[in-house]
């Protein structure tokens, strides 16, 4: 059972977690474990007040945010406001005018040749996005596969140019509001809290509760194409079900396999297919993971949607066991759907 799996990992692997498994849209199992704020410092000093994780707890999705950016892009494509195979220079002429062979499809499959990251903490705030968009090409365009946050930040900016609105507004208007995801969205740095702080899982101790963990997203004010979305497990289940049922524009294009060289898994647009780090035995499932210990897995063949939300980087990053926890949750989903 999910409760046993999460309990065994708490707090050695994760301070807190929520997991939900849906079979054909119905919740088959759900559990919450641990404490949303367990530590006060990087040395592991216990906090005087440690709110328990609940099913409606809010977590930083980290790179699972990339799926929401992709959904926005495909919505704009369906409205003929974007073209996946047109040069990115059409929307970013100042930064891609001399790189006309790069397309949105390259960016969404991580084959644009961009380096993985581009930290801008020391760059003046007004220049940070321009600095990232000017990141040089360091690998051949078209492959091999090179996972990059820079590419998805660029995708988010393209969405803003084509959509005529900030990315958080586009995610709200094109994705979360139509799907009824009331607890899902970006949290801008310095903005009033959109949730009760007692519901929000803390990441590393140097971040305030509700501030995005990712350094680059934080430097960009909390809204970026690669990270920054916060959500609950039930909202993320609904999002996964919308993908499984094709309720979002161009879902088939998003989830079909695209040729990608030298990747450890197959790839769609913004989604990983059969990524062993998250799908476990669900070998044909697709989805994404996040550095904070989050994952969304959708398996159409088994009519499964599986969500794991954690704050594994609290109080420090790099503790072992999160991959094994993801695999155990996916294995439990397969066990549920396979039982007589």
Residue with tokens 């062979």: 101
- Per-residue exposure over 102-141, b if at least 16 CB sit within 10 Å of its own CB, e if not: bbbbbbbbbbbbbeebbebeeeeeeebbeebbebeeeeee
Cα separation, 286 vs 273, whole angstroms? 4
Instruction: Evaluate if pTM is beyond 0.95.
Output: yes
Quickly state the pLDDT bin for 127 (edges 50, 70, 90): very high
| pLDDT (0 to 100) of residue 56 | 97
Q: pLDDT tens digit string along 252-295?
A: 999 999 999 999 999 999 999 999 999 999 999 999 999 999 99
| pLDDT (0 to 100) of residue 239 | 98
List all residues 6 or more positions away from 314 whose beta carbon is below 8 Å from its beta carbon. Answer: 15, 37, 38, 39, 201, 202, 203, 204, 205
**Of the listed ranges 19-33, 67-81, 164-178, 196-210, the one predicted with least confidence:** 196-210
Average pLDDT score over residue span 117-144: 94
- Angle (nearest 5°) at CA 338 between 336 and 339: 70
Look at strands 229-231 and 185-186 and give their pairing: antiparallel
List all residues 6 or more positions away from 6 whose beta carbon is below 8 Å from its beta carbon. Answer: 14, 17, 19, 31, 32, 33, 34
Cα separation, 182 vs 234, whole angstroms? 10
Cα separation, 1 vs 136, whole angstroms? 48
| pLDDT (0 to 100) of residue 192 | 81
| pLDDT (0 to 100) of residue 227 | 98
Q: pLDDT tens digit string along 214-255?
A: 999 999 999 999 999 999 999 999 999 999 999 999 999 999
- Asked whether residue 25 carries a pLDDT value surpassing 80, the answer given is yes
- Asked whether residue 34 carries a pLDDT value surpassing 80, the answer given is yes
Residue with tokens 């088994």: 302
Quickly state the pLDDT bin for 5 (edges 50, 70, 90): very high
| pLDDT (0 to 100) of residue 340 | 79
Average pLDDT score over residue span 151-174: 98
* Residue in 63, 10, 62 with CA at minimum distance from that of residue 36: 10
Q: Terminal CA-to-CA distance of the chain, rounded, Å?
A: 16
Residue with tokens 């494509």: 77
| pLDDT (0 to 100) of residue 193 | 77
Dihedral pair phi/psi, residue 32, rounded to 5° = -135, 145
Average pLDDT score over residue span 324-336: 98
Q: pLDDT tens digit string along 38-89?
A: 999 999 999 999 999 999 999 999 999 999 999 999 999 999 999 999 999 9
CA 72 to chain centre: 13
Q: Which one-letter DSSP state was computed for residue 35?
A: B
| pLDDT (0 to 100) of residue 339 | 85
Cα separation, 227 vs 192, whole angstroms? 19
Q: Which one-letter DSSP state was computed for residue 46?
A: B
Summary mean pLDDT of the chain: 96
Q: pLDDT tens digit string along 176-206?
A: 999 999 999 999 998 887 888 999 999 998 8
The listed CATH number (3.40.50.2000, 3.40.1160.10, 3.40.710.10, 3.30.420.10) that belongs to domain 2-338: 3.40.710.10
């Amino acid at each position: 059972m999910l409760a046993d799996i999460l309990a065994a990992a708490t707090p050695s692997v994760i301070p807190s977690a929520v997991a939900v498994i849906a079979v054909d849209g119905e919740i088959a199992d759900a559990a919450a474990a641990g404490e949303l704020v367990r530590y006060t410092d990087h040395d592991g000093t216990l906090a005087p007040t440690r709110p328990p994780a609940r099913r409606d707890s809010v977590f930083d999705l980290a790179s699972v945010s990339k799926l929401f950016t992709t959904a926005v892009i495909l919505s704009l494509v369906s409205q003929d406001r974007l073209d996946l195979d047109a040069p990115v220079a059409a929307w970013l002429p100042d930064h891609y005018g001399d790189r006309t062979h790069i397309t949105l499809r390259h960016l969404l499959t991580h084959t644009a040749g961009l380096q993985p990251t581009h930290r801008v903490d020391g760059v003046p705030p007004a220049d940070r996005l321009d600095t990232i968009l000017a990141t040089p090409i360091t690998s051949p365009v078209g492959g091999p596969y090179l996972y990059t946050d820079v590419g998805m930040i660029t995708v988010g900016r393209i969405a803003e140019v084509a959509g005529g609105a900030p990315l958080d507004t586009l995610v709200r208007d094109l994705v979360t509001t139509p799907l009824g995801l009331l607890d899902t969205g970006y949290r801008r740095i310095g903005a009033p809290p959109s949730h009760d702080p007692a519901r929000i899982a803390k990441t590393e101790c140097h971040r305030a509760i509700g501030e995005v963990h990712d350094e680059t997203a934080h430097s960009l004010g909390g809204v970026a194409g690669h990270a920054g979305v916060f959500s609950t497990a039930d909202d993320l289940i609904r999002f996964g079900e919308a993908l499984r049922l094709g309720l979002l524009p161009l879902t088939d294009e998003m989830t079909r396999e695209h040729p990608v060289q030298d990747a450890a898994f197959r790839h769609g647009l913004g989604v990983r297919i059969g990524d062993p780090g998250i799908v476990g035995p669900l070998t044909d499932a697709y989805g994404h993971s996040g550095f904070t210990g989050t994952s969304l897995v959708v398996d159409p063949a088994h009519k499964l949607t599986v969500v794991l939300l954690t704050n594994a980087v609290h109080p420090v990053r790099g503790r072992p066991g999160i991959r094994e926890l993801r695999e155990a949750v996916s294995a439990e989903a397969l066990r549920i759907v396979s039982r007589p």
